[in-house]
Structure 1
Amino acid sequence: MRRRKMVLKRRIRMVIVAFILILIGILVIPISHFKVAASEKNMRQIEYKTYVVQYGDTLWGLADSYMGKNFKNHQDYIHDVMRANGMNQAMIYEGQLLIIPCEEDVAENTQMAAAGEDMRN
């Protein structure tokens, strides 16, 4: 008799735990879907352009000019520039040709250097 009560209590606990896990799963999956949909909606098209480094340019300054809204902060933008150019240090030099990410709306309002073009006029 006592053993039956213990077995019954275990089964009830298992059913309750299973119900709670199913309920959590039902609630979590739709919430994560909405987050993904919202982030995709806020994404903008990023173009990559070539840029000839001018005297006094810094990666931080390039981030100020070209980063747009697709990057969380200057460090994210600089990291992307470094990755796109195979750089392992954040140092740039006058005359260096860089590939930089640039949002479409920023790119339309900015004069960028074509490959091999010198913009030091």
Structure 2
Amino acid sequence: MDFVTSNSQRMMESSMRFLWSKQTAILDNISNAETPGYKTKYVTFEESFKRSLLAASGASRPTAAFREAIENARPTVHTAVSESARMDGNGVNLTEQGVELARNAYQLRYAMRSIDSDLSILRTAIKGQ
């Protein structure tokens, strides 16, 4: 049963959480592209996740610390306050957001396929085929 609760599976869950948050922020940005004064949202995850893992490596019980760092990893949504793409103060660059939306969709698809592949192996083992 360690297969389902492994650190790699938990990391995939954390990645999916990040990608979903990023997707939501991008869609908010696109839907507010005509709102005067709206500032672009962006999501970060990797930097804080790396810091958490580095801190866990120095813990007295690194295995438990790694698991805790992975489980507690959360993306952070930021607002780009100083950026402005238009005269009305709106900070959304639709071309940039469209590219990010496509990139994020591919990353989500890859992550879902990876999780599905792991679960397919588990289903096959349970069925005994």
Q: Do they fold alike, i.e. is TM over 0.5?
A: no
Structure with more strand by fraction = 1
**Higher helix proportion:** 2
The TM-score by the shorter chain falls in which range? under 0.3
TM-score (norm 1): 0.27
TM-score, normalization: structure 2? 0.25
